[in-house]
Structure 1
């Protein structure tokens, strides 16, 4: 089984996600096989993660703090082609003491084209080290747990 689906098998189900971000397939996004290149899919997952985190978590952070990606795993399931309309679903999988584990799926219609899992931390201070999540931050993220 693929790594992301081992972590959360429901990532291939669109109904699992509360947060959605649209993507646009540009001609420049295509590889020589005429489907969206893997690096673009990686950037779409980044867009989905940060759309949720900037909307929900960023207003609660000190301006000097950053959202830092600590880990990401991506599995590719199907091609995405020019003219298709992909959507990125993002959900919280778990909250650690200082980490936010997220799961994502990129869908074209009902078809899941790729899944991802990631871990993000809030980092601050001169060394930009991860710090514990506050109760307010946890409360703000809780509605975005997968269904």
Structure 2
């Protein structure tokens, strides 16, 4: 599991006083940096090996300004050339939002998906969700 903790910015709030729903996908993308580093340790955009194929977000409860949040990031599925990144937003010991991003290992020169090698798969598997990590 990867974990990022931070306080929401004031600009993340909406007119109702809670965190705007458009912030969650942005937070999830930022918290995927650990996954990105598995494929590109220096995060060099000239040799970037991933594309985002799909995201979904589920909202479970309101998230509030002024209270620390934690984004937990797991690798929940690994295929031949794609994998799922499952993420949760936690605040005050409660899961407030969750979502999944489908990432594809991609060669921009060839403009096609490429297989994830076994070494990378093993590293990704070390970030699979377990019951004790999620609760």
Q: TM-score range by the shorter chain?
A: 0.7 to 0.9
> How far off its partner does 1:23 sit?
3.0
Query: 1:119 matched to which residue of 2?
Result: 102
Query: 2:23 matched to which residue of 1?
Result: 40
Corresponding residue to 1:144 among 109, 127, 133:
127
Q: Which has the higher contact order (CA 8 A, sep 6+)?
A: 1
Structure 1 segments, 4+ long, off by >6 Å, are: none
Query: 2:79 matched to which residue of 1?
Result: 96
Residues 75 and 86, structure 2, Cα contact 8 Å, conserved in 1: yes
Corresponding residue to 1:56 among 38, 41, 64:
38
Q: TM-score, normalised by structure 1?
A: 0.79
Q: For structure 2, which runs of at least 5 residues remain unmatched after alignment?
A: 131-135
Q: TM-score, normalised by structure 2?
A: 0.86
CA distance, structure 1, for counterparts of residue 99 and residue 41 of structure 2: 25
Q: 1:20 to 1:127 in 2, by over 3 A?
A: same
SS of the aligned residue for 1:91 comes to strand
Q: 1:137 to 1:60 in 2, by over 3 A?
A: farther
Q: Deviations over 1:86-108 (max 9, x none)?
A: 10001111100000112111000
CA distance, structure 2, for counterparts of residue 60 and residue 37 of structure 1: 31
Between Structure 1 and Structure 2, which shows a larger proportion of helix residues?
1
